[in-house]
Amino acid sequence: MRVLLISHEPQASPGVIGRLLYERRIETETHIVLEDPVNPNTAFPDPGDFDAVISFGSFCNAYDPAVRDWVEPEVSLISDMVERDIPYLGVCFGGQLLAEALGGSVERAPAGSDEIGLIDIDSDVAEIPSGPWFSWHEDRTTLPDHVTVLAHNGNAPQLFRYGRAVGTQFHPEAEIPLVRTWTEIGGDHIPARTSATEILHDLQVRREDLEANCARLVDWFLEDVARER
CA–CA gap between residue 117 and residue 132 (Å, rounded): 10
The helix/strand/coil state of 59 is coil
pLDDT at 95 over 80: yes
Supply φ then ψ for residue 136, to 5 degrees.
-150, 90
| DSSP codes, 137-161 | ESEEEE--TTSEEEEE-SSSEEEEE
pLDDT at 135 over 80: yes
What's the confidence (pLDDT) of residue 113? Answer: 81
Share above pLDDT 70 across residues of the chain, in percent, rounded to a whole number = 99
Residue 211 confidence class, pLDDT cut points 50, 70, 90? very high
Cis peptide before 37 (omega within 30 of 0): no
What's the confidence (pLDDT) of residue 186? Answer: 86
CA–CA gap between residue 182 and residue 11 (Å, rounded): 7
Q: H or E segment at 195?
A: none
Residue 152 confidence class, pLDDT cut points 50, 70, 90? very high
Domain ranges of the chain: 2-226
- Distance between alpha carbon 165 and the CA centroid of its chain, in Å? 12
* CATH number corresponding to 2-226: 3.40.50.880
The widest CA-to-CA distance across the chain, in whole angstroms, is: 47
pLDDT at 23 over 70: yes
pLDDT at 157 over 70: yes
